[in-house]
Amino acid sequence: MSNLIRVEFETPEGEAIDKMRAKFLWKKTFRHILLNLVLVLILILSTSTTVWAANSNVLPEIGSLIQHQYVDPVSAEVLNAPTVDETLKRLGDPNTSYFSADEYQNFLGSIDKKFTGIGIHIDMEAEGVRVVSVISGSSAEEVGLQAGDLIVHAAGQSLAGLSSEEAVNILRGLEGSTVRISVQRGTETKVYTVTRRVISVPTVTGEVLHGHIGYIDLNSFGSDTKTEFETVVKRLRSQKVDGWIIDLRDNGGGYLSSVFDLAGYFIGPNVLVSVKDRTGNVKQYEAQDHGFTLSQPVIFLINEYSASASELLTAAVKDHQRGILVGTTTYGKGTIQSLFSLSNGDFLKMTVGRFYSPLGNQIDEVGVTPDVEIMQADSLKVAELMLLDETEALAKARTTAYWEAWGELVNSLSADRQLEGYTYYYPSYRKVSELAAIPLDKKFKVCFNGAVDWQSVNSASVELIDAKTGKRIPTQFKTLGPSEVQVIPNVTLNPNTTYWLVIHPAIHDVKGFGMSEGVVAIAHTIEGIDGSYFDKSVH
C-alpha cells in the first residue's frame, strides 16, 4: 500500500522532510554529548532567617572568632557592636548564625534528616500547612493523616499566614509529647491528637528504572550518607544497571566529609575542590579513592535549590567530565561554614572560606550551569530518555507522560532549529499538509488510493495529538467509501492550538499490503471560526 494515502486540507501538500537529518540529530548530537561528558566543615544552604543570641556573655568570644576566622576581614563597626544580635546584623551574612543548644541539634538533624515531629512532608499555603506526603510508620500515618490534608490549627494556634519555619516549630516538639491539630479534608474538618516521635528519613534512596537505569535520590549530605549511598549502589549494581541518575534537586548541602566520600565514586582520587581562606591562600583537596568509579554513563539532576555541597560535587563532575548535568543553574552558595562551640553551651555557625571548582571556576553567587538546560519539563524524565536506546526512547517520547520532556530535550540538543517539531517524535514520517485557522469543530477527511481494510483503522493507527502536550484527542471514524474515512474529534478542539493528525503505517489495504511510511498532517486552530468555514475538499 505504498504511497496510497493523503490527508485533505485546504492547502497544498507540504514538502517531505529530510528523514536522515532527523535520525542524525539523535545519533550524533546527543551521543556526542553523552560520550564526552561522560564533621568539622559544613556546607549547607541556609535560610535568610537569623537566630538571635539570648546571652550577651559570649559577645567577646564571638567577636574574637569573627575577627580572626571569618572569611573576610571585618570592620571595626562590626567588632564594636554592643550585642551579639547587632554584631550578626552588621556582619550581614545570612550563612553566619547563632544557635542555642537545641537549635544546634535541630540544625544537625536537618542535615541528617532526623527530627522529632509527627511525620509529614509539608508545603505552606495561605490557609495553613498542606500535607504533601505522610512518612511511613509515623504517628501521623497511625492517626490517619493523608496527603492533601490541610492543617489549619495546631496546639491551639492558627497556621494561616505563617512561614514554614514558624509552622514547623509548632508541629515539632519533645519526643513523646502530643500536639492537637485541626485538619480540613475536602468539606470535612477532622481533629487529631498526634504524638511526636523521632523521625529518621534516609538521605539516600534508590531504585531501578526501566529495568537497567540506577536512580539515586540524594537529598542531603549527612553523617550516614556514605553508608546509605554504598548500600544503595551495591544493591543497584547487583541488578546490572548500565546507567545512573543522581538526583540532587532541592539538596541544600551537608557535611564536607560526606561529599569527599561520595565524589570518589564519580571522579576518583582527583581534585574535588579548591578552597580559599581569609588570607587568600588556595588549597586543593582530592576526593577519596574507592578503587573504582561508576564507569557507566551518569546524569546529575540539579535545580535552583541544589546548593553548597551539591554544587561542590556537580562542579567537580563537570570539570572532570565525568557526567552530564541536567536541569537549571544551581543556587550559587560557594561558601564554607564551621561550627564553633561557645562557653555557654551554644554555637556559632560562621563562614570561614570560599570554595571553587577544581578548575577554579567561581560558584558563590554564580552557581553551576547545566550541560542540558531543562526549564519546563521534569528533568528526571529527560534523564531517563537520555539513558534509553533510540528505539525505546522514541517509544517513551510518544507517550503523554514523556512528551514534554522529549520535546524540550531534543530541542535543546538540536543543532538545526529549522526542523519541524513533529520530526522529533516521528523522524521517519512525511508531512503531507499543513493548515492554519481551522475551526474548533473540524472534521478531517483521509483518502487512500485503494480499498482499505477498515479493521486496521482505529485509535492506535490514526491519532489526533495536541502537539504541545502529547494528549490524544478521542476520535471516532466514519467510512465514506472503500478508500475514504472521516476522522471526527469527540470534543471541541482548543483555540490557538497546534494538532498533529498522525497516520501510522499499521494501516493496510484489503489485500494485506501495508503503507511504506507514516504521514503527519499539521493543523492550527483559531477561535471564532465555525464548522462550516471549510466544507470542501482539495485533492
pLDDT per residue as tens digits for the range 225-274: 999 999 999 999 999 999 999 999 999 999 989 999 999 999 999 999 99
In this predicted structure, the answer to whether residue 514 has a pLDDT above a threshold of 60 is yes
What's the pLDDT score for residue 166? 85
3-state SS class at 414: coil
* Amino acid in the structure at residue 340: F
pLDDT tier, 115 (very low <50, low <70, confident <90, very high otherwise): confident
**Residue 153's pLDDT band (cuts 50, 70, 90):** very high
- Whose cell is 477561535? That residue is 527
Pairing label, strands 444-448, 5-8: antiparallel
Band of pLDDT at residue 6, cut at 50, 70 and 90:
low
User: Mind giving me the DSSP string for 168-194?
Assistant: HHHH--STT-EEEEEEEETTEEEEEEE
CA distance 499 to 486: 16
Average pLDDT over residues 53-59: 69
Tell me how crowded residue 423 is: count the other CB atoms within 10 A of its CB: 22
Pair 467, 431: CB distance under 8 Å: no
Backbone angles phi, psi at 69, to 5 degrees: -130, -5
Using a 10 angstrom Cβ sphere, with 0-12 exposed, 13-18 middle and 19 or more buried, the burial of residue 253 is buried
pLDDT score, position 201: 85
| Residues of the chain above pLDDT 70, percent | 86
Q: Which of 439, 429, 495, 496 has the alpha carbon at shortest distance from 463?
A: 429
Stretch among 10-19, 78-87, 526-535 having the lowest mean pLDDT:
10-19
Could you tell me how many residues make up the chain?
A: 539
Does the pLDDT of residue 518 top 50, yes or no?
A: yes
Q: Which of 114, 192, 201 is nearest to 146 (CA)?
A: 192
How far, in whole angstroms, is CA 64 from its chain's centroid?
43
- What are the residues whose beta carbons fall under 8 Å from the beta carbon of 505, sequence distance 6 or more? 514, 515, 516, 517, 518
What is the average pLDDT across 163-167? 82
Q: Compute the radius of gyration of the chain from its Cα atoms.
A: 29
Q: Whole-angstrom Cα distance, residue 134 to residue 166?
A: 20
309 SS3 class: helix
Q: What percent of the chain has pLDDT over 90?
A: 74
Q: Tell me the average pLDDT across 360-386.
A: 97
With bands split at pLDDT 50, 70 and 90, how would you rate the model's confidence at 298? very high
- Is the whole-model pTM more than 0.75? yes
pLDDT at 369 over 70: yes
Mean pLDDT for the chain overall: 87
pLDDT at 48 over 70: no
The set of residues, in sequence order, having a beta carbon less than 8 Å from that of 407 and lying 6+ positions away, is: 377, 421, 424, 425, 468
Confidence band, pLDDT 50/70/90 cuts, at residue 14: very low
If one counts every other C-beta atom within 10 angstroms of the C-beta of residue 160, the result is 13
Long-range CB contacts (within 8 A, 24+) of 360-363: 360/274, 361/315, 361/319, 362/334, 363/311, 363/312, 363/315, 363/330, 363/332, 363/333, 363/334
Higher pLDDT, 21 or 203: 203
pLDDT over 50 at 279, yes or no: yes
pLDDT for 109: 83
**DSSP 8-state secondary structure symbol assigned to residue 221:** B
pLDDT given for residue 111 in this prediction: 85
What the chain holds in terms of domains, given with CATH numbers, is 5-17+423-525 (2.60.40.1220), 34-38+203-338+353-383 (3.90.226.10), 42-109 (no CATH), 116-200 (2.30.42.10)
Query: Which cell goes with 270?
Result: 582527583
> Which is nearest to 303 in space by CA: 264, 249, 342, 260?
249
- The mean-pLDDT minimum among 138-152, 158-172, 293-307 falls in 158-172
Query: Could you tell me which residue, 107 or 38, shows the higher pLDDT?
Result: 107
Supply the pLDDT for residue 165.
74
**The dihedral of CA 282, 287, 293, 296: what is its sign?**
negative
pLDDT band at 112 (very low <50, low <70, confident <90, very high): confident
- Amino acid in position 286: E
